[in-house]
Amino acid sequence: MVKNNTEYAIFIDIDGTLMAKNDDALLKNIETIQKVRSLGHKVFISTGRSTAYLPKELCHETNFDGTITGGGAIIKLGTKELARTLMSLDLIEKFSRFVLKNNLQGFLEGEKDMYHFGFSDRAEKDWPEITEENLGEVLASEIPVEKFTVLGDIPIELDTIMGDSCTVLRFAYYGEIIQKSCGKGKALLDTIDALGIPVQRSVAIGDSLNDFDMLKVAGISVAMGNATDEIKEIADIITDNADDAGVSAALKKIFDI
């Protein structure tokens, strides 16, 4: 499908795309990714997860050419940092006080650590809990936060609290708050600009709303079989489900492996 003598840049979402419930599918995806890289192409993780929340089983430092985390908050090309757009202390405080006041379950997704509000079965044992009592101490430590996450329904009032600088993305069971100056689409464009690769030679693979702008700007857009209808409508290719190693299937088709 593409010319093998030209370099492409591929951007792959994690949850519902690269990873699902089937561990064998992940192994198959990683194996195909290494074949694509051996052909001279660059492959990047592009995720809403923050750096601290990257799954260890991805071995991202060796299996990928870079990472886009926090929905575009931090962009890394290898060990070189291309961009860093962290949440301000003011936004962290506003979000934290809103979540605590409304008894919501949520997270501050950081570069180094994850912090949670309220009991959640998604919170790891070593993730500190933020309460009314220790909020001041947490804020004083000036933690590097890439994005916010809320579980369940998000009150519409949060949009106003976050102001014009943030976008609140609502999904079926949770929501993400990222800065408007970020986004996976912008991160893709910034990365290929640094690489000197034209947008026509970029590939984006995803499944949900936070992948929309990334697929919209990519030269070749791929929707997972389990993707939302909105994502499938804008995709050039619809591949297999995540549990069936849809990333591997798409890459094999595009690069004729």
Tens-place pLDDT, residues 16-70 = 999 999 899 999 999 999 999 999 999 999 999 999 999 999 999 999 999 999 9
Whether CATH 3.40.720.10 fits 9-84+182-254: no
Average pLDDT over residues 150-171: 92
Q: Are 145 and 92 in contact (CB under 8 A)?
A: yes
Phi, psi dihedrals of residue 116, rounded to the nearest 5°: -125, 155
Class of domain 89-179 (CATH, top level): alpha beta
pLDDT computed for residue 172 by the predictor:
83
Pairing assessment for the beta strands 145-151 and 174-179 based on DSSP bridges? antiparallel
Say what the pTM is: 0.94
Q: How many CA atoms lie within 13 A of 8 on its CB side?
A: 24
Considering the chain, tell me which residue range(s) the CATH 3.40.50.1000 domain(s) occupy: 9-84+182-254
Q: CATH 3.30.1240.10 occupies which residues in the chain? A: 89-179
User: 134, 83, 75: which is closest to 108 by C-alpha?
Assistant: 134
Identify whether the C-beta of residue 82 lies closer than 8 Å to the C-beta of residue 194. yes
